[in-house]
């Protein structure tokens, strides 16, 4: 090798060494900022305690969007609220649920989302349970008795103890007996509902039309004190969800002929048709400004709790990641966007709208990183059916510190996600989009869509872990000299149908919902 060629090789080695040193320095600074100057607790308290739940169509949802824009502006990050449609406007008010007979007791419960309001005086009536009937004619005859009454529409749960509690303390025979009796009761309840001629989706209308003045449900989440809180199906009368302990007490009183009387005051406001938004923020790329790395988390929630782990934690991860990126890496190679999507809970409407409205961005996305499912540290990343996902995800993950990466299992090439969270909206458009799937922390039973999804359930050590992961993935994806491959695998045969699986297709968003 002559001196000139040797000099070229040495310069190349020196250049690579300098680039590696620069990369190591940036990553080290990011980790230090995340660990020693975290803003997560402050952001979480402001969002979850100060603003609260973010049901689409409520003033709190709009307040959250404005709060996020203001935060990004304070950090020197360009941000905006981008309207994509409208929704039924509604605001929760004061609720009281009290049993007046056979004794006085305040009950624990929640007015369901978009439920009609009571007057300030409330409704006060005897409570009935659904009867056991042989056919729809017998049920139609019973309907004549519900005028002026409050009707319970959920089954009686035989136990309020979760299965894990039974497994720990019960004898094996007792545990098996309970499960058998619960199964039999559930099956008989389902059969009786069929006998009425209605389903749990439309019996509300029949009871409302028959003159009931209120409905009471109880959607137990199979955890101590936890109920799922969704939406009302009534048009004129209130629907409330009672926590299991109170629901079963009132149910038993009615079943034994003790004629419980309940007073429901559940004030709310109808606000007409209101706009829905995505909050979009960006750090503009320097070398490739028209290529994008997208951080993704839905902003809306149900409103039984404050939406802390669904999806306050994902929101906090992406906001904190953007703050750190702006501070440590203010001039990225590619543009880094964050999408705080609206109306995910009602069908991924915010992210689907963004995909439909911004084809110029979608076709130039390097990668999407989405976080949604709870407060735990990330433990799984799937390749989502992209043939060469291992090559680039593996390259990026290699720079994540071991104390974070040691918990993560990967699945390559994986199978494309079809729903569940906003990454699916991008996958359907052929974009490499990845779910940062987290440790359970009893998410499904205790915080997912429940009355217990509150700030105190957040595990901030795990959330900080996810911030470190996210900022490094975003940095590595931005700096990568290659544009990530979008080549897809040939999908296997479906185990259910035996037919060739197809790549998920794009679905249109609902841009005028809740009407």
Tens of pLDDT, residue by residue over 310-356, are 999 999 999 999 999 999 999 999 999 999 999 999 999 999 999 99
For the chain, report the end-to-end CA distance as a whole number of angstroms. 77
Task: State the pLDDT at residue 8.
Answer: 56
Burial of 289 (0-12, 13-18, 19+ CB in 10 A): middle
Give me the helices (H) in 200-348, please. 203-209, 244-255, 313-328
Percentage of the residues of the chain whose pLDDT score is greater than 90: 94
**Residue 358's pLDDT is what?**
98
Of 288 and 497, the one with more pLDDT? 288
Mean pLDDT on 34-46: 98
370 close to 435: Cβ distance less than 8 angstroms: yes
User: Closest Cα to residue 26, out of 475, 480, 513, 354?
Assistant: 475
Q: Which pLDDT band, with edges at 50, 70 and 90, does 212 fall under?
A: very high
**Residue 23's pLDDT band (cuts 50, 70, 90):** confident
User: d(Cα 92, Cα 197) in Å, to the nearest integer?
Assistant: 33
Residue 264 host element (H or E):
strand 261-283
Confidence of residue 20 (pLDDT cuts 50, 70, 90): low
- Mean pLDDT, the chain, rounded, equals 96
Tell me: pLDDT of 231 over 60.
yes
Q: What's the pLDDT score for residue 1?
A: 61
Tell me the pLDDT band of 289, cut-offs 50, 70 and 90.
very high
Res 357: pLDDT: 98
**What per-residue confidence (pLDDT) applies to 130?**
98
pLDDT given at position 76 = 98
The CATH label, of 1.10.10.10, 3.50.30.30, 3.10.580.10, 2.80.10.50, for the domain at 103-259 is 3.50.30.30
Q: Note the pLDDT of residue 495.
A: 86
CATH 3.40.630.10 in the chain: give the residue spans. Answer: 29-88+273-513
Contacts of 288 (CB under 8 A, 6+ apart): 333, 334, 335
29-88+273-513 folds as Aminopeptidase (3.40.630)
Q: Are strands 261-283 and 78-101 parallel, antiparallel or unpaired?
A: antiparallel
> Of 8-17, 27-36, 204-213, which range is least confident?
8-17
CA angle 243, 208, 254 (to 5 degrees): 45
Band the pLDDT of 161: cuts 50, 70, 90. Answer: very high
Q: What is the mean pLDDT of residues 242-271?
A: 98
Confidence band of 496 (pLDDT split at 50, 70, 90): confident
What pLDDT score does 7 carry? 55
Residues of the chain with CATH 3.50.30.30: 103-259
pLDDT at 198: 98
CA 472 and chain centroid, separation:
24
With cut-offs at 50, 70 and 90, classify the pLDDT of residue 77. very high
Give the residue-averaged pLDDT of 193-209: 97
Strand (E) or helix (H) holding 139 = helix 136-143
């Amino acid at each position: 090798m002559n001196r000139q060629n040797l000099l070229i090789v040495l310069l190349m080695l020196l250049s690579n060494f300098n680039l590696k040193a620069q990369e190591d320095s940036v990553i080290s600074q990011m980790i230090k900022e995340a660990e020693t100057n975290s803003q997560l607790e402050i952001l979480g308290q402001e969002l979850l305690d100060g603003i609260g739940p973010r049901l689409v169509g409520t003033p709190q949802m709009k307040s959250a969007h404005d709060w996020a824009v203001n935060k990004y502006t304070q950090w020197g990050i360009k941000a905006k609220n981008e309207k994509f449609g409208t929704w039924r406007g509604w605001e929760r008010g004061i609720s009281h649920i009290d049993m007046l007979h056979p004794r006085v007791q305040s009950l624990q419960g929640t007015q369901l989302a978009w439920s009609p309001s009571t007057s300030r005086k409330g409704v006060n009536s005897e409570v009935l349970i659904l009867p056991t009937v042989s056919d729809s004619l017998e049920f139609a005859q019973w309907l004549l008795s519900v005028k002026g009454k409050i009707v319970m529409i959920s089954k009686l749960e035989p136990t309020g103890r979760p299965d894990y509690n039974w497994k720990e303390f019960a004898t094996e025979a007792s545990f098996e007996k309970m499960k058998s009796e619960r199964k039999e009761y559930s099956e008989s309840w389902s059969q009786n509902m069929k006998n009425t001629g209605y389903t749990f989706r439309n019996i509300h209308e029949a009871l409302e039309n028959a003159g009931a003045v209120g409905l009471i449900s109880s959607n137990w989440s199979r955890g101590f004190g936890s109920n799922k809180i969704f939406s009302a199906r009534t048009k004129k009368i209130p629907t409330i969800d009672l926590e299991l302990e109170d629901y079963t007490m009132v149910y038993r009183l009615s079943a034994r002929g003790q004629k419980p009387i309940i007073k429901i005051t559940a004030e709310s406001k109808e606000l007409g048709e209101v706009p829905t938004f995505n909050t979009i923020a960006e750090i503009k790329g320097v070398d490739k400004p028209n290529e994008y790395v997208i951080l993704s988390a839905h902003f809306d929630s149900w409103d039984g709790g404050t939406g802390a782990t669904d999806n306050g934690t994902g929101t906090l991860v992406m906001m904190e990641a953007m703050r750190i990126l702006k501070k440590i890496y203010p001039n990225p190679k590619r543009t880094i966007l964050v999408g705080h999507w609206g109306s995910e809970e009602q069908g991924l409407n915010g992210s689907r709208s963004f995909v439909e409205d911004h084809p110029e961005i979608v076709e130039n996305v390097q990668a999407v990183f989405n976080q949604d499912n709870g407060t735990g540290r990330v433990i799984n990343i799937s390749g989502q059916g992209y043939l060469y996902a291992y090559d680039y995800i593996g390259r990026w993950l290699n720079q994540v510190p071991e104390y974070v990466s040691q918990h993560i299992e990967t699945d390559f090439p994986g199978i494309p996600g079809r729903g569940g969270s906003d990454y699916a909206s991008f996958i359907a458009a052929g974009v490499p989009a990845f779910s940062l799937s987290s440790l359970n922390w009893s998410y499904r039973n205790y915080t997912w869509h429940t009355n217990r999804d509150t700030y105190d359930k957040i595990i901030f050590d795990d959330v900080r872990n996810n911030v470190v992961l996210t900022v490094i993935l975003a940095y590595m994806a931005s700096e990568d000299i290659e544009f990530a491959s979008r080549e897809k695998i040939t999908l296997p045969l479906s185990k259910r149908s035996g037919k060739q699986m197809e790549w998920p297709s794009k679905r249109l968003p609902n841009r005028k919902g809740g009407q």
